[in-house]
Structure 1
Amino acid sequence: MADLRFDSQPPRFTDVPRPRRAEGQWAFGYREPLNKNEESKKNDDPLNVRDRILYVYSKRGFDSIDPADLRGRFRWMGLYTQRKPGIDGGKTGALEEEELDDRYFMMRVRSDGKLLSPEAVRTLGTIGQDFARDTADVTDRENIQYHWIEIENVPEIWERLEAVGLHSIEACGDSPRPFLGSPVAGVAADEIIDGTSALREIEERFLGNKDFSNFPRKFKTAVTGHPSHDVAPEINDVAFVGTVHPEHGPGFDLWVGGGLSTNPMLTEKLGVWIPIDEVADAWAGVAGIFRDYGYRRLRSRARLKFLVADWGGEKFREVLEKEYLGKELVSNPSPASPVGHRDHIGVHPQKDGNFYVGVAPVVGRISGTLLVSLAEVMEQFGIEGARFTPYQKIVLIGARPEIVDALLDRLDEIGLPGRPSNWRQNTMACTGIEFCKLAIVDTKDRSRDLIAELERRLPQLDAPITINVNGCPNACARTQVADIGLKGQLVMHEGQQVEGFQVHLGGATGLDANFGRKLRAHKVTSAGLGDYVTSVVTNYLVDRKEQESFADWVQRADEELLRGEQTLEGAAS
């Protein structure tokens, strides 16, 4: 297999038009930095900061850290300073970053779709206990995210992680961000193709590789061979999605240019067939296009989705084939999209006769202690391993049929139910104002309270409804593709500015992928969230047609029903 490298500019075979105004695209010779982020990366490759953390900053302490490393290059090692306690949401956009900085770090640990042994799960837990005030969150990029990390402890944390095959390299920054892999890769009875080997090859060849450490912005990857498309491929920069060619058999389609934030876009499906041993080369080609042609002038336009939107899928494929792969890709219709999403909660058959069991933390908020307890349960029941999911959940692999019931009972006891309510299963939340410097409102605690309130008020639900709660407009919790998406902001209530949310309704991935409907000037206070969600869900239950999903109902429902201004009667509780 060719080992693609890009130390020099690749030959140009295509007629890609130069932009009307300089966007800082390297492919056109624009190498001079056009903003402070690009200047910082040019001054020193961010991967070099690892040695300074190991041999300088961890020994001399927080005050020794160069600001350019602290608020820039540290991200390539999975480290952000966390939000200083006591700063309210109204000051988020008004204060300089250094005024928001605490002297502690958030650290993201990548799993990249790996099957984590009981030992690895225990290690993740003890790190939380020993160094992170017992914090540990499961994120929607299959990470473990710690808080309260001190710079002096980073070398030992890295050493413990590396001993179980984990790391935090390029978990943040303008880099190949943590990969999403199918949580049931290699075991699901209905899997099309196992993408695990492709993910491992991408990791081995390109993570920590300075040819791929300086993208215009973040670069998000997803790989799944499961027919449920369980990695939200529609909203990643690059996604490889399992498909079947009538002659060549199972392989992957290539989707590019997805992303949310303040300008949400769905991926362009290229309609190709790529064999598994060529996925890593195709990844390098897409990443190379982003690096060389991506817009570097304005950070707000620096994601791959803007380039794909300007070029279109046909031009993107042409450049990929002629300039980066040196051959044409095999055309093949894109695979059919499933209805909704699948997070693998509950008990499901494996191809080997065993079962996998998906469990639901509350909006991803767990602890080091809970991870240690989970490792003990895995050892007790002979579980092969665990994977994190893109929905802030955990899947246990390799449960023998005879132990499933006892396993579910034990998981209930430690607080990780495999038989959760709809509200616990289908609610996600970002980090929020507790630790995030971009957040405006609280998310984790408010979501936990909302789940408890809805379990009391609407305990029985015969149709899944997802709720995604975000603390700011950046959509880390995928606000726009939830049935009920809640974007944090300050709202006026009785003459006072209070925490609240803008509401998006009817968003989805899969067959009906779309961005939620926003109601003009409609805001909900944080305190009134339970009443609002109860009203709008009750209206759906009363007004829906047979087999009509919440997202479909939203598209036709009267606006006063969606605003919760009128609550219909007659819904079964």
Structure 2
Amino acid sequence: MTDTATRPTRTAVTGAWADGDLTPLNGNEAFKQADDALNVRQRIIDVYAKEGFASIPSDDLRGRFRWMGLYTQRQEGIDGGQTATLAPEELDAEFFMMRVRSDGGILTTEQLRTIGALSTEFARDTADISDRQNIQLHWIRIEDVPAIWERLDAVGLHTLEACGDAPRVIIGSPVAGIAADEIIDGTWAIEEIRRTYIGSPEFSNLPRKFKTAISGSPALDVVHEINDVSFVGVNHPELGPGFDLWVGGGLSVNPIFARRLGAFVTLEQVPQVWAGVIGIFRDYGYRRLRNRARLKFLMSDWGPEKFRRILQDEYLGYALPDGPEPVTPPDGHRDHVGIHKQKDGKVWVGTAPIAGRVSGSTLTAVADLAESYGSFRVRLTPHQKFLVLDVEEADAPALAERLAAHDLIAQPSVYRRNALACTGIEFCKLGLTETKARARTVVVALERRRPEMDVPFGIHVNGCPNACARTQVGDIGLKGMVQRDENDELQEVFQVHLGGALGINPTLARKTRALKVTAEDLPDYIDRVAGHYLEQRAEGESFAAWAHRADEDDLR
């Protein structure tokens, strides 16, 4: 590999395979190298589902199971104060979260009905739409996993590599192929990558997770700024429609925006270029420390010029042409909620459940409703939203009204429309605070108290520092914590991040000194800050722009 002669000590520092030493440098690297995580599927079917939870060894249970879309669920009754103190086996319940993979958010009504039925039969009617276009189920028993997989397989779905140090679900434009203003439809590339590489040992052992986004929508609707690799639709003045290549984005405790490589990629080249980028991550990615193992750290050290050179010279064997930057749309919504015309004359109906919380019963009902109006296609969005496609324009208001009866609102308030929440302490072993119910409480309170809010206003509720709900890029990002009150009672509090944004001016949120709000005080606090914004904003000024210039006293 390149430059090894000038970096003789780099192996000891980073553990990158490209330096010629594959010795595992931590426990995760050891179990991945001892046995390809993809092999655990057969053990689940042949052994663990028959012999039960107690038969599962730790490296499979808390390690390789993730490659099958399975995380152990949090034991009930364990408060957030014990999250970081208890051993993993003390936090584990004998149930799993199962993540059903839906690349591009693409589902048929038959697939949706299948997931709904599995939820009601095996998952206590739970279902959450994630901000990566998956559906997550809870309360899954190991004994039921093979039967669930069989039924998913029968309709073309699976849970493979929905978690783990692997290529996660590929997010795509929810209106790919139907939007009248689409630059290019990336669906073929998503399907080709999924068909060729997902479940392949070639990329089943990465330093950490790898997140992909592909969209030809001018709305920039796949949060390309915060993915490991993104292909963003552009029109090249000489080569026509294609994609601009972005690499190295990610949030969590070290938020970093992706960098443009300045390279133009045709639709046909996307799978090969994707394989090149993930190949660089596999070979050059940092494997010694888990908290430094994401691709964003390699990009930060290399920069886009070196990354592009190695991609072209060592992985593609040809140079990519320079290309234009994406045309950034005006600040506004990227979620496709509402009733919108498709290019074929029909419409889609986009709805907003609060923070993605639905149920199996709801999914089944939506499948039935969609079919009753002649639709057999639905889409999930990277914003925890839900779309029904291919509806006759005359039928759309009636369908929207019937969807609203299932808490799927096509004309939501700005609070409901822009709320995100992670799984939280309800099910997640990393959680410190409740999130889904908290998001609902805040949204309902603000809808009642301050209905005059007339701009996008995103409230992102996260139960721990890992930013699964994109804490640092919401108008108001809430990072869950716990602390003792004056009576030495444990209470849930949230560190407040203000003014994060993606779009025209991607901006990390502002942290105001020592600003923490108790869970119970969140509606009062957000109402107060929203009021200050409405009083002080300049014409056309977004909340994010105001939050970065406001006096600290007005943010408290």
Matching of residue 301 in structure 1 with residue 299 in structure 2:
no
Size of the aligned set, in residue pairs, is: 553
Cα distance in structure 2, aligned partners of 1:337 and 1:96: 47
Superposition deviation, residue 281 in structure 1: 0.2
Code of the residue aligned with 2:447 in structure 1: it is: E
Cα distance in structure 1, aligned partners of 2:238 and 2:8: 39
Of 272, 277, 292, which residue of structure 1 is paired with 2:268?
A: 277
Partners of 1:340 and 1:511 within 8 A in 2: no
Cα distance in structure 2, aligned partners of 1:341 and 1:229: 10
Superposition deviation, residue 12 in structure 1: 4.7
Q: Which residue does 1:71 correspond to in 2?
A: 62
Partners of 2:4 and 2:19 within 8 A in 1: no
Code of the residue aligned with 2:414 in structure 1: it is: N
Code of the residue aligned with 2:14 in structure 1: it is: E
Q: Which residue does 1:54 correspond to in 2?
A: 45
Matching of residue 254 in structure 1 with residue 245 in structure 2:
yes
Cα distance in structure 1, aligned partners of 2:241 and 2:146: 42
Cα distance in structure 2, aligned partners of 1:79 and 1:529: 32
Code of the residue aligned with 1:159 in structure 2: it is: E
Deviations 1:425-476, CA, capped at 9 Å, x for gaps: 1111000001000010001111111111111101232111100000000000
Q: Which residue does 1:235 correspond to in 2?
A: 226
Partners of 1:490 and 1:498 within 8 A in 2: yes
Cα distance in structure 2, aligned partners of 1:173 and 1:284: 18
Q: Which residue does 2:403 correspond to in 1?
A: 411
Superposition deviation, residue 302 in structure 1: 0.2
Cα distance in structure 2, aligned partners of 1:170 and 1:397: 27
Partners of 1:84 and 1:102 within 8 A in 2: yes
Of 448, 472, 478, which residue of structure 2 is paired with 1:480?
A: 472
Code of the residue aligned with 1:147 in structure 2: it is: H
Of 367, 371, 385, which residue of structure 1 is paired with 2:363?
A: 371
Deviations 1:510-532, CA, capped at 9 Å, x for gaps: 11101100001110000100000
Cα distance in structure 2, aligned partners of 1:64 and 1:366: 33
Q: Which residue does 2:83 correspond to in 1?
A: 92
Residues 27 and 128 of structure 1: is their aligned pair in 2 closer, same or farther, counting only changes over 3 Å? Answer: same
Cα distance in structure 2, aligned partners of 1:165 and 1:336: 35
Q: CA RMSD in A?
A: 1.3
Residues 553 and 220 of structure 1: is their aligned pair in 2 closer, same or farther, counting only changes over 3 Å? Answer: same
Cα distance in structure 2, aligned partners of 1:544 and 1:208: 50
Q: TM-score, normalised by structure 1?
A: 0.95
Secondary structure of the structure 2 residue equivalent to 1:300 = helix
Displaced runs of 4 or more, over 4 A: 11-21
Unaligned stretches of 5+ in structure 2?
none
Code of the residue aligned with 2:535 in structure 1: it is: V
Residues 15 and 112 of structure 1: is their aligned pair in 2 closer, same or farther, counting only changes over 3 Å? Answer: farther
Q: Which residue does 2:345 correspond to in 1?
A: 353
Moved more, 493-502 or 430-439: 493-502
Residues 16 and 276 of structure 1: is their aligned pair in 2 closer, same or farther, counting only changes over 3 Å? Answer: farther
Unaligned stretches of 5+ in structure 1?
1-10, 564-573
Cα distance in structure 2, aligned partners of 1:428 and 1:221: 20
Secondary structure of the structure 2 residue equivalent to 1:390 = coil
Q: Which residue does 1:424 correspond to in 2?
A: 416
Code of the residue aligned with 2:532 in structure 1: it is: N
Cα distance in structure 2, aligned partners of 1:47 and 1:366: 30
Q: Which residue does 2:555 correspond to in 1?
A: 562
Deviations 1:30-50, CA, capped at 9 Å, x for gaps: 200000000001110000000
Superposition deviation, residue 14 in structure 1: 9.1
Of 341, 344, 358, which residue of structure 1 is paired with 2:336?
A: 344
Code of the residue aligned with 2:424 in structure 1: it is: G
Code of the residue aligned with 1:51 in structure 2: it is: Q
Partners of 1:13 and 1:323 within 8 A in 2: no
Superposition deviation, residue 420 in structure 1: 1.2
Code of the residue aligned with 2:66 in structure 1: it is: R
Secondary structure of the structure 1 residue equivalent to 2:104 = coil
Moved more, 170-179 or 334-343: 334-343
Residues 493 and 304 of structure 1: is their aligned pair in 2 closer, same or farther, counting only changes over 3 Å? Answer: same
Matching of residue 552 in structure 1 with residue 535 in structure 2:
no
Q: Which residue does 1:170 correspond to in 2?
A: 161
Of 422, 444, 449, which residue of structure 1 is paired with 2:441?
A: 449
Superposition deviation, residue 15 in structure 1: 7.9
Superposition deviation, residue 114 in structure 1: 4.7
Q: Which residue does 2:209 correspond to in 1?
A: 218
Matching of residue 386 in structure 1 with residue 374 in structure 2:
no
Superposition deviation, residue 271 in structure 1: 1.4
Superposition deviation, residue 16 in structure 1: 7.5
Cα distance in structure 2, aligned partners of 1:14 and 1:369: 56
Superposition deviation, residue 17 in structure 1: 4.3
Matching of residue 399 in structure 1 with residue 391 in structure 2:
yes
Of 535, 539, 549, which residue of structure 1 is paired with 2:532?
A: 539
Superposition deviation, residue 222 in structure 1: 0.5
Superposition deviation, residue 336 in structure 1: 2.6
Code of the residue aligned with 1:457 in structure 2: it is: R
Partners of 1:237 and 1:256 within 8 A in 2: yes
Superposition deviation, residue 160 in structure 1: 0.9
Q: Which residue does 2:497 correspond to in 1?
A: 504
Code of the residue aligned with 1:205 in structure 2: it is: T
Partners of 2:246 and 2:258 within 8 A in 1: yes
Matching of residue 330 in structure 1 with residue 351 in structure 2:
no
Q: Which residue does 1:523 correspond to in 2?
A: 516
Deviations 1:151-180, CA, capped at 9 Å, x for gaps: 011011111111111110000100001111
Superposition deviation, residue 537 in structure 1: 0.2
Q: TM-score, normalised by structure 2?
A: 0.98
Residues 18 and 468 of structure 1: is their aligned pair in 2 closer, same or farther, counting only changes over 3 Å? Answer: farther
Cα distance in structure 1, aligned partners of 2:5 and 2:385: 45
Secondary structure of the structure 2 residue equivalent to 1:363 = helix
Cα distance in structure 2, aligned partners of 1:61 and 1:321: 49
Cα distance in structure 1, aligned partners of 2:8 and 2:45: 43
Secondary structure of the structure 2 residue equivalent to 1:187 = coil
